[in-house]
A = this chain, B = another copy of it.
Amino acid sequence: MEFQFLGTSSGTPSKTRNVSGLALRGPGGGWSLVDCGEGTQHRILDTPLSLHDLRAIFITHLHGDHCYGLPGLLASAGMLNRTAPLALVGPPALRTFIDGVMATSELGLPYPLDYIAVDGLAGTPVLPDLAVDAIALSHRIPSWAYRFTERTVERKLDATRLRAAGIAPGPVWGELQQGLDAVLDDGRVLHAADWLLAPRKARTVIVGGDNDDPSLLLEAARTAEVLIHEATYTEEVLLKVGPAPMHSSALRVARMAQAARLPNLVLTHFSPRYQDGAGPLSMGALEAEARGVYTGSLFLARDFDRYVLGRDGTLAAKYFL
Q: Which of A70-78, A123-131, A282-290 faces chain B? A: A70-78
B105 A68 Cβ-Cβ under 8 A: yes
* Interface flags, A16-55, vs B, CB<8A=1, else 0: 0011000000000000000001110110011000000000
| A64 in the interface (beta carbon within 8 A) | yes
In the complex, A107 has a CB within 8 A of chain B: yes
A283 to chain B, nearest CB (A): 19
Q: A62-B104, A100-B100 are in contact. Are A41 and B13 (CB under 8 A)?
A: yes
Q: How far is the CB of A223 from chain B (nearest CB, A)?
A: 33
A101 interfacial by beta-carbon distance below 8 Å: yes
**Which B residues touch A14, using CB under 8 A?**
45
State in angstroms the CA–CA spacing of A104 and B107 once bound together. Answer: 18
Q: Give the distance in Å from the alpha carbon of A101 to the alpha carbon of B299 in the complex.
A: 34
A32 CB to closest chain B CB (Å) equals 21
Q: Could you say which residues of chain B place their CB within 8 Å of the CB of A15?
A: 45-46
Is B63 within 8 A of A68, CB to CB?
no
Chain B residues whose CB sits within 8 angstroms of the CB of A67 once the complex forms: 105
Residue A140 contacts which of B41, B71, B106 (CB distance < 8 angstroms)? B106
Interface size class of A (residues with CB under 8 A): 35 or more
Contacts A76-B12, A100-B100, A105-B62; A38 near B69 (Cβ below 8 A): yes
Cβ of A141 < 8 Å from any Cβ of B? yes
* A72: chain B residues within 8 A (beta carbon): 19, 37-38, 64-65, 68
Give the chain B neighbours of A68 by CB distance below 8 A: 38, 68, 71-72, 75, 101, 105
For A97, the closest partner residue in chain B by CB is: B104
| Min C-beta distance of A72 to chain B, whole Å | 4
Min C-beta distance of A95 to chain B, whole Å: 9
Q: Which residues from chain B contact A76 at a C-beta distance below 8 Å?
A: 11-13
Find A75's partner among B12, B45, B104 (CB 8 Å cutoff). Answer: B12
- Residue numbers in B under 8 Å from A12 (CB-CB): 41, 75-76, 79-80
Chain B residue nearest to A37 (CB atoms) is B72
Cβ contacts A83-106/B at 8 Å (1 or 0 each): 000000000011011001100111
Evaluate contact between B104 and A93: CB separation under 8 angstroms: yes
Is there contact, CB below 8 Å, between A18 and B38?
A: no
Of the residues B39, B65, B97, B106, contact of A42 by C-beta under 8 Å: B39
Cα separation A100 to B104 with both chains bound (whole Å): 9
CB–CB A97/B101 < 8 A = yes
Residues from chain B with a CB closer than 8 A to the CB of A106 are 62-63, 140-141
A-B CB contact pairs (8 Å), 23 listed: A11-B75, A12-B76, A12-B79, A13-B41, A13-B45, A14-B45, A18-B42, A38-B39, A38-B42, A39-B42, A62-B105, A63-B106, A64-B71, A64-B75, A64-B105, A67-B105, A68-B68, A68-B75, A93-B104, A96-B100, A96-B104, A97-B104, A106-B141
Query: Closest 10 interchain pairs by CB?
Result: A100-B100, A38-B72, A97-B104, A12-B76, A68-B72, A64-B75, A39-B39, A64-B105, A62-B105, A93-B104
